[in-house]
Structure 1
Amino acid sequence: MKRIDELPRTLKPWSDGSGELMAPAVVRVGIVGAGPMGRLHARTVSRIAALDGTCALASVVDRHAGRAEEVAAEFDTQAFTDLDEAISEIDAIIVCGPTSTHHALTSWLLKKGLDVLVEKPLAATVAEAKQLASLASSCERILQVGHVEWYNHGWREAVRLAGVPETIEVERLNPESDRGLDMDVVQDLMLHDLDWVARYLDDTVVEVKARGRRVKHSGIDEAETELFFRSGCHVRLRVSRVFPDCRRTVRVSGSQGSVVADLLTRRVEGAPESSGSGPDPLQAQWRDFLVSIRDRKTPDADAVVGVAALELVERVRESIEGRGP
């Protein structure tokens, strides 16, 4: 297999079969998985469809018929339990199933010629993610991963106003729930911020120091990580999925001062109301996907980005378990 940084980011243009290039006027979207995330994506696609007509929610697929029918009825679309039957009427699809299903499902969908958006993480392991990146490249299909925080206005404003970053501190704390329990908190929550700082700084991580603990589940429930970059920037990340309430803040100290942003409201502390909170991140993510489909361009969070994030997740886990350098 090619190294991930050697994979070409070329995309196959749409064709009507006669050799004439064309893009769908309305992208017909399917959703696999009718759980909480599937419902959120169904709502977002439906809103975009109502706003500008660039897409349409064509189907909701879930092996549990009742769950698929409930979400499909709410958003006035078709319900399926058979994915093979559903894909005949869609152009693109999002995979919202358990992480353990991402590799097999996404591989099958790419081979069927569909552009695919996968909820994060891209796959359960780095090896599986690399296989998906390679397959998307060989199939010349768009493969985007749902790193939705990349589109968070609060993050973007904080780093813009702080100037050249010297330290970054992030708290991403969630109360206990039954979602995401097929992975640990590093892969579920910290992945967002590992992805953000690595992409924004575009620098080499020279050292990772991390610790974590299990509180109520078999996987790590709380973790703290320090990342040291070659540029000298020092990053501290703290995550929990058993915290009493929900808290998501980022503090960036840089050449222009220190800035704090609330990632839930997507606002910088002290900023005037007129500064706004930016677009809804999930809607911005979908617009990126839809534009990528239309223009056959690489999305902001493509498979290469998904692999890199999982590689950082693995380095954090190694440090927690005492396996790191």
Structure 2
Amino acid sequence: MNQEKVNIGVIGVGHLGRWHVQQLKNIPQANLVGFYDTSQERCQAIQNEFNLPAFKEINQLLNNCQAVSIVTPTTTHFEYAQLALEQKKHVFIEKPITETVEQGEKLVSMADKSHLKLQVGHIERFNPAILALEGRDINPLFIESHRLSTFNPRGTDVAVVLDLMIHDIDLILSFIPSPVKTIDASGVSIISSSEDIANCRINFENGAVANVTASRISNRKMRKMRFFQPNAYISVDFLEGVSEVYELADPQIPAKGGNMAISFGKLGEGKNSKEIRYTRFEKKDINPLQYELSLFVNSILNDTAPAVDGRQGVRALQVANAILKNIEEHAQVVQNFWGLQSGS
């Protein structure tokens, strides 16, 4: 595309949508033309804060841009994305891509037929801790993931699997190139009408296993993922933006990259000896939201594939739905065993 900037609009300027507005204004290749929201109060607040036009009708916004960022409740994702794609607009859409897999697949098909970009906002792909590991071989046999948050009423309209766990589902699928074989999951509703805490064990056809826990009723925040693979243990702290690697390495080959490397001695003798090495990796001065939005804008300008395309968003949703189905089946077993009524 022979142009220097992409005219883009934002649909939905609630809590997260406001951040999209803020970050798009900081991307040189993006020309933020305005936004649309159904709340007059939010429109006025964003207009005042960012000196940005609020369009009264969604079609008015679409007529003035080439691309949109959709930051509305999941229940409306399909409606707005379908409308944008019908009018030949590129679409960035927050996770999960849609309510149903069928809706997501239709959006993918529409984008493909019209040669439009469709990117899904799986933001943890661009966490500094993950970006710091670029260039390293990650071939996990086992993944342990914990994503714990304190309670916040925002987001409780969906189960914790779709609210929080889906971040880790997407990452795990990106690191394990194998179909899912089986899922064993359980979850409990504590405060909201859907599951507030959930755990699942995902078995892949290549033998890899992922154990994933998500909770939105913890007394402290934790967002960590651990990879276990031959000769290496990798710990990722999403809150701190830091990754740590413990590995058996060739002592003759110096550590590559990293902000700090420490040797804890050697195992074995002679040519077969291995160094027990610790390396700390981090990337500073990276805003994950700005980074993923800039990648979306650049994919339009350079006609390249989106960083997280619609198919990847649909696959994450498929696995999330399978987990939810397994949780429901497990809950029925518990209810039958204990003689509980549904919702007890």
Length-normalised TM-score, structure 1:
0.86
Counterpart of 1:38 in structure 2: which amino acid? Answer: G
Instruction: Note the residue ranges of structure 2 that are not aligned, 5 or more in a row.
Output: 246-257, 261-279, 331-344
Q: Is the 8 A contact 1:32 1:61 kept in 2?
A: yes
| CA 1:297–1:220: 2 relative to 1, 3 Å | same
Question: How far off its partner does 1:287 sit?
Answer: 1.8
Query: Which of residues 23, 42, 64 in structure 1 aligns to 2:21?
Result: 42
- Structure 2 residue aligned with 1:73: 48
- Partners of 1:198 and 1:249 in 2: CA distance: 16
Partner secondary structure for residue 238 of structure 1: strand
Which residue in the other structure is 2:249 paired with?
Answer: none
Give matches, 1:89-104, under 5 Å: 89-104=64-79
- Report percent identity of matched pairs: 28
Contact between 2:180 and 2:202, CA under 8 Å: does it hold in 1? yes
CA RMSD of aligned residues (A): 2.1
Question: Structure 2 CA distance, aligned partners of 1:69 and 1:24?
Answer: 32
- Misfit runs of 4+, over 6 Å: none
Give the AA of the match of 2:94. Answer: E
Aligned to 1:296: 303
Letter in 2 for 1:205: V
In the alignment, the residues of structure 2 paired with residue 289 and residue 63 of structure 1 have an alpha-carbon distance, to the nearest angstrom, of 25
Structure 1 residues 24 and 161 mapped into 2: Cα distance closer, same or farther (>3 Å)? closer
Match of 2:282 in 1: 276
Residue number among 311, 320, 333 corresponding to 1:313 in the alignment: 320
Tell me the distance in 1 between the aligned counterparts of 2:67 and 2:225. 34
Q: Does 1:182 align with 2:188?
A: no
Distance 1:159 1:255, change over 3 A: farther
Query: How many residue pairs are counted as aligned between the two chains?
Result: 299
Change (3 A) 1:175 1:93: same
> Equivalent of 1:114, from 61, 64, 89?
89
Distance 1:63 1:200, change over 3 A: same
Aligned equivalent of 2:9, options 30, 35, 40: 30
Residue 83 of structure 2 aligns with an amino acid whose one-letter code is W
- The one-letter code sitting in structure 2 at the alignment partner of 1:34 is V
Deviation for aligned residue 1:89: 2.0
Tell me, in whole angstroms, the C-alpha distance in 1 between the residues paired with 2:56 and 2:164. Answer: 30
Q: Which segment drifts farther, 69-78 or 92-101?
A: 69-78
| Deviation string, structure 1 residues 171-212 (Cα, Å, up to 9, x no partner) | 111111122222111111111111111122111211111110
- On the 8 A contact 1:59/1:72 being kept in 2, the answer is no
For the pair shown, which has the larger CA radius of gyration, 1 or 2?
A: 2
1:203 aligns with 2:203: no
Aligned partners of 2:87 and 2:210: how far apart in 1?
41
State how far apart, in whole Å, the 2-side matches of 1:160 and 1:171 are: 24
**Under a length normalisation based on structure 2, what TM-score does the superposition of the two structures give?**
0.81
Give the conservation status (yes or no) of the 8 Å contact 2:23–2:290: yes
Is the contact made by 2:131 and 2:283 (CA closer than 8 Å) also made in structure 1? no
Unaligned ranges ≥5, structure 1: 1-21
Distance in 1 between residues matched to 2:106 and 2:133, nearest whole Å? 35
Match of 1:131 among 106, 124, 144: 106
